Amino acid sequence: MSGTHADTGGRLEAAVQDPKLCAGLLHRLEEALAGQRLRFMEVCGTHTVSIFQSGLRSLLPSCVTHLSGPGCPVCVTHDAEVAAMLDLAGREKLIFATFGDLLRVPGPGGRSLKHAQAAGARVEIVYSPLDAVRLAARHPDATVAFAGVGFETTAPTVAASVLAARAQGLRNFCVLSLHKLVPPALRALADDPHCKVEAFLLPGHVATVLGLAPFRYLAAEHGLPAAVGGFAPADILLALCRMAEMRRDGAPDVVNAYPRAVDDAGNARARALMDEVFAPCDALWRGLGRIPQSGLALRPAFADFDAMARFGIALAETPPLPGCRCGAVLQGRITPPQCPLFGRSCTPATPVGPCMVSTEGSCAAYFKYAGS
């Protein structure tokens, strides 16, 4: 990035933190609402943290209800998927490579990858999928299985790691693909009569890859306004203003309120990379169950890199974590404090469910910023 562009970007980021701008947008939001209710859901872990960390949640008009949906990749990982990770991590001559935030996610019986690691499993934390490829190159005597979790923002980088491993002839690298696709999950929520979401704050990171088109059904088929938003307080407020104004005018649409970072058409190169390696498949979501065509499986041409196929892994029926209401939180049916375990047996130090494990989880955000 040139110095001029960096300076411009810095000024823009400073501008969207300006209290006067935020005050003006709050006034605009109140005028658009005119006391009418707005029940909106964000579906991005970064939005969750930003809304709490900035104090924005406490400044919103009382007629606005904020719900935190399935936007945290760790939180939506299903119990059966955690069981599959534990199964794989326990195999001989295998190194299980994972992002650090998955390490403490509880699975069957409360066991996690951290427990498996303590029991002798070779579980390694990596910071990118390519780190896992390099791990495979350094350990030709073992198979490296990478835990592929995350949304459309992560999948292209995992696809790149598969292509890199193939180019290097690394036969000891594979991916446990548990990726999730956001648009089908939002469709499931829009169809859920118990959720009653009236507007969606769309994830800025995912939209940089997908653009707006995959979300347009929210307005066209469900009559729900939706806006892609950035992560500074003014970004979020602008998106809320746009949604409230669309609702006031009876003109639902899907709009881009984050144009400095998101192109309406998304990133065609990232999508092409993802599509080359992966194909849509049904997937399990915590709380939402099985959603058709909401996951990504490796294409047959890359079967050699498919951990499920290589090790005969299947997602078996798995009992839910006793007492945990993370699923209901992700569906927007309850808020974290309504879970009987919240702040009692379930805290960031002793998490019972994944929404308290991840720093982007709504339970962890409530605990840290709203008090237990």
Query: What is the enclosing helix (H) or strand (E) of 355?
Result: helix 354-357
Looking at residue 9, its pLDDT comes to 47
Query: What span, in angstroms and rounded, lies between the C-alpha atoms of 235 and 204?
Result: 10
Looking at residue 175, its pLDDT comes to 98
Looking at residue 169, its pLDDT comes to 98
Number of folded domains that form the chain? 1
Could you tell me the pTM of the whole model?
A: 0.92
- Report the first-to-last Cα separation within the chain, whole angstroms: 43
- Cα Rg, the chain, nearest whole Å: 21
Query: What is the enclosing helix (H) or strand (E) of 115?
Result: helix 113-118
Query: What span, in angstroms and rounded, lies between the C-alpha atoms of 66 and 22?
Result: 18
Q: What is the pLDDT of residues 59-87, one digit of tens each?
A: 999 999 999 999 999 999 999 999 999 99
Q: What is the DSSP letter of 323?
A: T
Residue type, 94: L
Instruction: Check: CB of residue 252 under 8 Å from CB of residue 219.
Output: yes
Looking at residue 304, its pLDDT comes to 96
What mean pLDDT is reported for the chain? 93
Looking at residue 305, its pLDDT comes to 98
Query: What is the enclosing helix (H) or strand (E) of 123?
Result: strand 122-125
The bridge status of strand 254-256 relative to strand 226-229 is parallel
Instruction: Check: CB of residue 56 under 8 Å from CB of residue 68.
Output: no
- Residue-number span of the structural domain to which 344 is assigned: 1-372
Close Cβ partners of 300 (under 8 Å, ≥ 6 residues apart): none
What are the CA-CA distances from residue 277 to residues 157, 265, 301 (Å)?
A: 11, 21, 8
Q: Which residues of the chain have pLDDT under 70?
A: 1-17, 371-372
Query: What span, in angstroms and rounded, lies between the C-alpha atoms of 343 and 341?
Result: 6
Looking at residue 370, its pLDDT comes to 83
Within 10 Å of residue 3's Cβ, how many Cβ atoms? 7
The bridge status of strand 122-125 relative to strand 289-298 is unpaired
Looking at residue 17, its pLDDT comes to 65
Looking at residue 212, its pLDDT comes to 98
Q: What is the pLDDT of residues 118-161, one digit of tens each?
A: 999 999 999 999 999 999 999 999 999 999 999 999 999 999 99
Residue type, 345: S
Looking at residue 316, its pLDDT comes to 86
Within 10 Å of residue 130's Cβ, how many Cβ atoms? 16
CATH number at residue 355: 3.40.50.11740
Looking at residue 7, its pLDDT comes to 44
Q: Residue 79 pairs with which residues in a beta bridge?
A: none
Query: What span, in angstroms and rounded, lies between the C-alpha atoms of 253 and 219?
Result: 5
What are the CA-CA distances from residue 236 to residues 55, 64, 226 (Å)?
A: 12, 13, 12
